[in-house]
């Protein structure tokens, strides 16, 4: 821990407020306009390693800039409202008796923040490294025309290995990564990911954002490795951490940030609007406070504006955060839809067709993840993917995977679709084994038959290659050859497999009703 506590005497909407920070993570939430970014600036502003006697003075972070929190990235001062002496706050540092007090002063024609009572050169700073990641990092790769591969800067072989491991773990990716590229421009430094299927110019916004964050982590790691006795830790401030990441990846990132904070002695402070992150963090904070050794590691704070002043809710619950961010007041008993996760779009279509009217109370989340990832998230009790927060419906082929099947037995909110195959292969087998003169063919289309059905994708290809099966299904579904939501094929399959379907519906009903009881909502 570096900063134990902040006291804000006056600063824009803040007036005589205080809060303690987490030794590892401090997570700040609030509606727009509650000055979350201002808090980040106040906490990170006085840190730097520019002192002449500091051995780390010449070091530069891999993510660009310097180990100094740039004033211009955080504060846009108003000529009318930001005036000299109208700002004052104090940072209480670990192992320091006296707080470090800052105030606004006049420097030339501008206002700057400096240590109160001491105007000497360098006195306005605390000699510890800081990295501030502003929203500037989110400029898309495609819009940064000056971004190019660096010929002089690069990651070491060890750093490249770590980077790729962290990348895949946080994004829950199975991609086989080749040598990464260190990319630089006037706007940012980041890392470009390459595979046999795509290169860095096709990287997603999430990969790019993660690149900037992981470069910051590797920068602190370098300092710790190089200056073993002089490195005393640092501050990492991240504005809008959740931007560009999907919910499961957000949770993975929070978990890894905790490890980084511990391994490299970094105190991480971030802002977010993500309910997934906040739910997970609130549960984590509650668990950690049960033990003396971990009770101060995580702090979740919520900012709200009351009577034109910004107040801080300490020890805030997720229920309070959820209602504040959604501007609602109803409790769980008024919740009418339960989130459902499937492996892919085909799973959603098949599930809806089997459940029919029972699916009206479900919210199918647009989040494509393999069965192994969904099982792992539920097994690790990530709130979004855990009972009673959601239902996970996996393809029947999980029954043929001993490793995954054994794990499912420990998870309350997972059920499997009928049979021992994926939905698209079930339908392929059903149609392939159907008699050439069965009335179903003409009910689909007067000119539709088995030859047309398997014209572009053979049955053997569909059964051997998962991607071919998906492409076959998507082709028929997207062209609506099988009717709305493939009903002309799924309904007949449903009728001929009534026993298996009834077992699935019974399993679903029991799970839904157990969740409904937990959430105090209507059963089905």
Residue-wise pLDDT tens digits, 255-296: 999 999 999 999 999 999 999 999 999 999 999 988 999 999
**Is the pLDDT confidence value at 315 over 80?**
yes
Mean pLDDT (whole number) for 52-78: 85
Task: Give the integer Cα–Cα distance in Å for 202 and 204.
Answer: 6
Instruction: Enter the pTM of the model.
Output: 0.68
**Percent of the chain scoring above 90 in pLDDT:** 71
Task: Give the integer Cα–Cα distance in Å for 271 and 108.
Answer: 33
Q: Is residue 164 part of a domain?
A: no
Q: Identify whether 46 is preceded by a cis peptide bond (ω within 30 of 0).
A: no
Mean pLDDT of the chain: 91
**Percent of the chain scoring above 70 in pLDDT:** 98
Among residues 302, 326, 350, the one where a domain terminates is: 326
Strand partners, 306: 309
The pairing of strands 362-364 and 390-394 is: unpaired
The pairing of strands 298-306 and 309-313 is: antiparallel
Q: Which letter does DSSP use for residue 446 in this model?
A: T
What is the four-CA torsion angle of 492, 494, 500, 502, rounded to 10 degrees?
Answer: -140
Task: Check which CATH number belongs to the domain holding 11 and give it.
Answer: 3.40.50.300
| Burial class of residue 148 (count of CB atoms within 10 Å of its CB; 0-12, 13-18, 19+) | exposed
- Looking at the structure, do residues 380 and 452 belong to the same domain, yes or no? yes
- Looking at the structure, do residues 86 and 36 belong to the same domain, yes or no? yes
Q: Which range marks the domain in which residue 241 is found?
A: 3-139+227-326
Q: Which residue has better confidence, 31 or 119?
A: 31
- Looking at the structure, do residues 118 and 246 belong to the same domain, yes or no? yes
- Looking at the structure, do residues 12 and 81 belong to the same domain, yes or no? yes
- Looking at the structure, do residues 123 and 22 belong to the same domain, yes or no? yes
Q: Is residue 53 part of a domain?
A: yes
- Looking at the structure, do residues 359 and 288 belong to the same domain, yes or no? no
The per-residue pLDDT for 51 is 81
- Looking at the structure, do residues 371 and 440 belong to the same domain, yes or no? yes
- Looking at the structure, do residues 240 and 343 belong to the same domain, yes or no? no
- Looking at the structure, do residues 8 and 97 belong to the same domain, yes or no? yes
- Looking at the structure, do residues 113 and 257 belong to the same domain, yes or no? yes
Q: Is residue 206 part of a domain?
A: no
- Looking at the structure, do residues 346 and 430 belong to the same domain, yes or no? yes
Task: Give the integer Cα–Cα distance in Å for 321 and 275.
Answer: 8
Considering only CA atoms, which of 101, 196, 183, 127 is closest in space to residue 150? Answer: 183
Task: Give the integer Cα–Cα distance in Å for 245 and 171.
Answer: 8
Helix pair angle (423-432, 345-355), 10° resolution: 70
Task: Give the integer Cα–Cα distance in Å for 127 and 232.
Answer: 10
Q: Is residue 333 part of a domain?
A: no
Q: Is residue 432 part of a domain?
A: yes
The per-residue pLDDT for 334 is 46
Helix (H) or strand (E) holding 287: helix 275-288
Q: What's the structural domain count of the chain?
A: 2
Among residues 303, 326, 349, the one where a domain terminates is: 326
Q: Is residue 99 part of a domain?
A: yes
Q: What are phi and psi of 446, to 5 degrees?
A: -55, -25
Considering only CA atoms, which of 44, 43, 68, 41 is closest in space to residue 54? Answer: 68
Among residues 326, 358, 383, the one where a domain terminates is: 326
- Looking at the structure, do residues 15 and 124 belong to the same domain, yes or no? yes
419-429: per-residue pLDDT in tens?
999 999 999 99
157-211: per-residue pLDDT in tens?
999 999 999 999 999 998 999 988 899 988 888 999 999 999 998 999 999 999 9
Q: Is residue 411 part of a domain?
A: yes
Q: Is residue 233 part of a domain?
A: yes
């Amino acid at each position: 821990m570096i900063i134990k506590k902040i006291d804000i005497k006056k600063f824009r909407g803040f007036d005589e407020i205080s809060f303690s920070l987490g030794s590892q993570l401090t997570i700040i939430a609030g509606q727009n306009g509650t000055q979350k970014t201002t808090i980040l600036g106040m906490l990170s502003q006085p840190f730097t390693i520019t002192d002449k006697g500091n051995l780390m003075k010449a070091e530069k972070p891999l993510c660009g800039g310097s180990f100094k929190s740039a004033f211009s990235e955080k504060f846009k001062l108003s000529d009318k409202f930001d005036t000299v002496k109208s700002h004052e706050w104090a940072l209480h540092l670990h192992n320091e008796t006296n707080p470090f007090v800052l105030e606004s002063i006049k420097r030339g024609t501008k206002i700057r923040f400096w240590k109160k009572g001491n105007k000497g050169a360098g006195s306005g700073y605390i000699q510890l490294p800081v990295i501030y990641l502003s929203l500037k990092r989110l400029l898309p790769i495609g819009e940064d025309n000056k971004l190019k591969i660096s010929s002089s800067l690069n990651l070491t072989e060890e750093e490249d290995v770590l980077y790729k491991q962290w990348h895949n773990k946080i994004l829950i990716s199975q991609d086989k990564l080749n040598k990464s590229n260190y990319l630089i421009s006037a706007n940012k430094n980041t890392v470009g990911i390459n595979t046999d299927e795509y290169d860095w110019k096709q990287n997603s916004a999430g990969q790019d954002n993660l690149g900037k964050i992981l470069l910051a982590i590797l920068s602190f790691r370098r300092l710790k490795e190089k200056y073993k006795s002089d490195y005393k830790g640092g501050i990492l401030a991240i504005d809008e951490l959740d931007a560009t990441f999907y919910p499961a990846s957000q949770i993975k990132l929070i978990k890894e940030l905790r490890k980084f904070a511990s391994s490299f002695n970094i105190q991480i402070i971030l802002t977010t609007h993500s309910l997934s992150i906040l739910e997970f963090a609130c549960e984590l904070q509650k668990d950690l406070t049960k033990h003396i050794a971990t009770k101060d590691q995580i702090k979740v704070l919520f900012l709200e504006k009351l009577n034109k002043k910004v107040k801080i809710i300490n020890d805030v619950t997720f229920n309070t955060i959820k209602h504040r961010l959604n501007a609602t007041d109803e409790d769980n008993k008024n919740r009418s839809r339960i989130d459902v996760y499937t492996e892919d779009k085909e799973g959603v279509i098949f599930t809806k067709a089997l459940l029919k009217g029972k699916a009206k109370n479900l919210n199918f989340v647009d989040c494509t993840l393999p069965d192994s990832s969904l099982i792992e998230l539920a097994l690790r009790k990530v709130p979004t993917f855990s009972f009673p927060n959601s239902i996970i419906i996996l393809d029947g082929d999980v029954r043929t995977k001993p490793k995954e099947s054994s794990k499912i037995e420990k998870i309350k909110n997972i059920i499997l679709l009928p049979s021992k195959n994926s939905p698209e292969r079930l339908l392929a087998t059903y149609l392939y084994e159907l008699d050439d003169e069965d009335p179903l063919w003409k009910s689909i289309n007067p000119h539709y038959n088995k030859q047309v059905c398997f014209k572009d994708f053979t049955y053997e290809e569909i059964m051997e290659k998962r991607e071919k099966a998906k492409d076959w299904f998507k082709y028929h579904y997207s062209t609506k050859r099988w009717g709305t939501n493939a009903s002309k094929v799924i309904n007949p399959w449903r009728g001929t497999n009534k026993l298996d379907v009834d077992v699935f519906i019974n399993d679903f009903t029991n799970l839904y009703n157990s969740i409904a009881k937990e959430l105090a909502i209507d059963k089905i």
